[in-house]
Structure 1
């Protein structure tokens, strides 16, 4: 019998992908499922991006590219950061990978290992801790509270820093909470790090074009001149341009880090898709009205989602400022029976909800926040309205022990 490695045994499957798979099984059986599990825009990729990919294929742009990306796509990323963040970067500071998750993995593999510590504010995206564990490093979870908007404080950061700290991972706008740090709040955090440690920052900015109201995204690398050599910026096209299946992510980092990531990627996957790179050039250099349109629709869905959730008794909602998730406390509905099923935590809550009401949410325990559930509102208003009505009806069936 083939033995499974200790690494594979230690890694948990992605909770969001697992939740999506369960919903697909029910749908295949002909059941209507209100699936709010996946962080994937329901829009099609804009036509001008698809057209650029088709034209690249017709031109024969179907061969291997440089491991870290073509000169054209790297230059497009440089131009975009100059326009969007007023950040001047050079192509040698850019590496393109097969999605932002792959970029994060390569960045961690290039910079941390056994004996190192990586600080992660919690709640956090489900993959962060396992990606750190895969390197042999230790994820150190720093619990944040709804009272502070689920934001890490400078005091928390200062007390968590040790000689073994190599990285602080931060995500703003945040998955799952929708929290967006202000520029001043981020300045306080980076100053704490700069004053007390030689650790670096891995800043996941994948949702940077999806903020609402007065919230504004901040590129951490722009905050202090010295941060340019201490920051790895991660982003990608999946969320802003509805390009999840194209698998286009990138990292911006000091040259020696990019070279290390390039070496790792060359052995893992070789280059990213040549066709997807052509599509990314069109996304970044082309018209941006598509992004504004999708952002406006997400904003409307956010307002609808928050309004309907506030109408459900005992649900405590953290109002999102960015991304496309609602993260809410359902502990008032624990320790009850639902149609014969006993609910005691977020996992059993989501399991019973899917089985009985066919509404699919992701348990907060997967994000390091027991008692909460995450709902993606990256779906139509009709589905949001019907799904939350079904949730409210199901909650009314709760019976005390």
Structure 2
């Protein structure tokens, strides 16, 4: 009998593998709500709308029709064909079917891509503010995230001059996310052209173009795909999208990507040995969404635009708060520099955006995410993918919190 008292260990990879702040704040909000508090959570980035009926009907019919077996690893043919048509008609991109794959959400595409390419110490350039999973995933798979700040005075867009400063011979990936989570920034055609010019000097760099919010652009702005603007770079660009944001289908877990055949092939090897293909029923729903749900998208976009304007107006009236006008997605990213150093009505000293978010949740029961989680402080990410009346109530609570700061 072994006298030593030991227990099974976890992988060293788990050190520093934190829960995304968006999920952590949402969990805390649910805990408070379970205690009987009237909590408004604006922490998660998911549409508040129901999935369009035609997509749900397609899933139901697929289930009744027996389409419940293991699906192809790369996606069912009907969905891949719909994605191929979407890329061509909406983006001007030509992808062969073996250059397209379907995954369990866009997050799995990121995992597959990094797993297929990153070696220990490879650098992943992540424009900040960024979606929290980009650097977390890079670190988990052996990469080294490298931030490049996208300043508020530049509408949170990446500038080529700043990109050039951080690219090295160790750079393996550049992340592009426009429209952006968390800021709602839409990168201009000119900015993307200048970024492409820089990337031509670094032929070893892959580009992950996250376009999942492409349909949610406002004020006459246009979304541009880098692979269209710089066709000579197309063989190292992954153009990533999915059903979650556009069609209000986050729980269906369907992401898709077009990219160079050799990288797609490598990513499919990983998927075949991890999760296999995405749910066959979900793929039926996503196929129907791509073919038939444009009117639903237009209605949701109109609601988001109305809410966006309401949020911007509310924050413009708060002392010590700045708020760039978001041009896309469904987030605002207000700056709270003028609130730092003050004390809340509940006696909490506000030394950073984490303190602000925690005090706001404790005292006014509104959950938002502190900007440090996205790589740029002191800011807050606030989702306006919520009912208008709920947003009005949340804005009043936030305004009251700010007014009471001393």
Bin for the TM-score computed over the shorter chain: over 0.9
- For the pair 1:337 / 2:332, whether they are aligned, the reply is no
Which aligned pairs between 1:194-273 and structure 2 lie closer than 5 A?
Answer: 194-273=200-279
Deviation at 1:115, TM superposition (A): 2.7
Q: Which runs of 5+ in 2 are unaligned?
A: 1-6
Distance in 2 between residues matched to 1:235 and 1:287, nearest whole Å: 16
Deviation per CA, 1:214-235: give whole Å up to 9, x if none: 2111111111222220101111
Distance in 2 between residues matched to 1:138 and 1:21, nearest whole Å: 28
User: What is residue 3 of structure 2 aligned with on the other side?
Assistant: none
Match of 2:67 among 38, 61, 71: 61
Please give the secondary structure, in 2, of the residue aligned with 1:268. Answer: coil
- For the pair 1:370 / 2:377, whether they are aligned, the reply is yes
User: What is residue 86 of structure 2 aligned with on the other side?
Assistant: 80
Which aligned pairs between 1:148-227 and structure 2 lie closer than 5 A?
Answer: 148-227=154-233
Which aligned pairs between 1:1-400 and structure 2 lie closer than 5 A?
Answer: 1-338=7-344, 339-399=346-406
User: What is residue 4 of structure 2 aligned with on the other side?
Assistant: none
Please give the secondary structure, in 2, of the residue aligned with 1:336. Answer: coil
Distance in 2 between residues matched to 1:96 and 1:259, nearest whole Å: 12
Distance in 1 between residues matched to 2:265 and 2:301, nearest whole Å: 35
Moved more, 150-159 or 59-68: 150-159
- Cα distance change, pair 197–257 in 1 and its aligned pair in 2 (3 A): closer
Deviation per CA, 1:180-208: give whole Å up to 9, x if none: 01112101101110134431211111100
Q: TM-score, normalised by structure 2?
A: 0.96
Deviation at 1:396, TM superposition (A): 2.0
**Kept in 1: contact 2:372–2:378 (CA 8 A):** yes
Distance in 2 between residues matched to 1:202 and 1:238, nearest whole Å: 18
**Kept in 1: contact 2:79–2:283 (CA 8 A):** yes
Deviation per CA, 1:245-264: give whole Å up to 9, x if none: 00001121111111100000
Deviation at 1:380, TM superposition (A): 1.1
Deviation at 1:4, TM superposition (A): 2.1
Q: Which runs of 5+ in 1 are unaligned?
A: none
Runs of 4+ residues over 2 Å off in structure 1: 195-198
Distance in 1 between residues matched to 2:357 and 2:337, nearest whole Å: 12
Moved more, 197-206 or 247-256: 197-206
Deviation at 1:382, TM superposition (A): 0.6
Distance in 1 between residues matched to 2:35 and 2:133, nearest whole Å: 29
Moved more, 329-338 or 292-301: 329-338
Please give the secondary structure, in 1, of the residue aligned with 2:318. Answer: coil
Distance in 1 between residues matched to 2:402 and 2:123, nearest whole Å: 41
Distance in 2 between residues matched to 1:3 and 1:302, nearest whole Å: 47
Distance in 2 between residues matched to 1:132 and 1:188, nearest whole Å: 25
Deviation per CA, 1:331-365: give whole Å up to 9, x if none: 21122222122221111110111011101110000
- What is the RMSD computed on CA atoms of the aligned residues? 1.1
